Chains A and B, each alone.
Chain A
């Protein structure tokens, strides 16, 4: 049976449902911090924390739940896996980033000493972008060579990398920037907010930046195509693979009640539909072209 290709997922507090039987369920610590899955679902990388012991763990699983490798790490914060699952990048607090092979070999690492990192990896694993809590953005190639870095602010700023690694969108204070693989600032557009979340479409055609309840949708030349507001606070955003649709989850607190909604827009800013989810939610969208995952 072929699944509807644009299927996307929401986590939420529920109403009536069937009991989902997982393929596997593995305890990996007190708290799962981050995770990522390869394009065809063959590999899953996850980081976790053991709170009392004050240590973390990074694991790679195959689709059967078998541990491929398992490392103890100081405080892993963020993880990302390439589309094929051949390369994994992990950000560890106060240490830096670690670039590993599927077999668990450490290929290269880079020390930062910052408190927090967001790591992104291109589909082919040949590009890595890192945003740190001191407001720096770094860009590495697959051999660990630092191609460029910029200091954008004194605090953490959100970044998002296109699928091929050729573009990096950066959300700053009242601005959105787009940088090339070579570190050129292609453009810088003003927005009316401190950007809290940013996402670039896989092909780099569109960029969405959000803050609070505001959405800004820009094209690849930095023009704001549309802006909108949702009720409540935006929790997560995700592009479809062709960039022509975006999903936004938000939550509105009304007294002791939480009203969660996922809103689905097209690239013209038209609200195609919304779905009431009752509580907070995060969203993930699949590819709309199954052939893409074979790359």
Chain B
């Protein structure tokens, strides 16, 4: 049920593609040395994919790593937010009492 899938990962373990390739189990696979083509055997079918084309159609979502300034800015923002919340809490507490 649900078919089988072809996962494409880079050398750091990042998932580039996760393809549904039909219903039958995939039992043999070969990837070309240039990583542009892959052929699989699923049941009696021989299926050829162009990874270059698949990655062009479905580019992996790569999250950019934050810069040092962005990390600093995020930390400062967090401290300010927490301070504001604390101040508001103290004001509210005094008004209630």
Chain A interface (Cβ within 8 Å of chain B)? 1, 3-41, 44, 46, 48, 59, 61, 63, 65, 83, 240-241, 245, 262, 264, 272-275, 277, 281-288, 290, 292-293
Contacts and interface: CB of A to CB of B under 8 A. Distances in A.
Nearest to B1: A13
A35 B42 CA distance: 11
A63 B37 contact: yes
Interface centre among A4, A274, A275 (most CB of B within 10 A): A4
Nearest to B19: A20
B65 interface: no
B28 A282 contact: yes
Interface of B: 2-13, 15-21, 26-59
B9 A10 contact: yes
Given A3-B51, A275-B13, A284-B38, A16 B18 contact: yes
Contacts of A83: 33
Contacts of A21: 54, 57
Contacts of A6: 10-11, 35
Nearest to A40: B34
Contacts of B26: 11, 282
Contact of B11 (A1, A4, A17, A31): A4
A30 B44 contact: yes
Given A3-B52, A14-B4, A65-B48, A35 B9 contact: no
Given A7-B31, A14-B4, A264-B11, 10 more contacts: A11-B40, A14-B5, A17-B19, A23-B53, A28-B44, A33-B28, A37-B31, A39-B34, A46-B41, A286-B35
B45 A13 contact: no
A7 B4 contact: no
Contacts of B58: 18
B55 A3 contact: yes
Contact of B46 (A40, A61, A287): A61
B62 to A, nearest CB: 10
Contacts of B52: 1, 3
B30 A36 contact: yes
Contacts of B36: 3, 40-41
Contacts of B13: 264, 272-275
B31 A286 contact: yes
Contact of B9 (A7, A22, A37): A7
A83 B34 CA distance: 11
B35 A14 contact: no
A277 B4 CA distance: 11
B46 to A, nearest CB: 5
B60 to A, nearest CB: 9
A264 B31 CA distance: 17
Contacts of B51: 3, 7
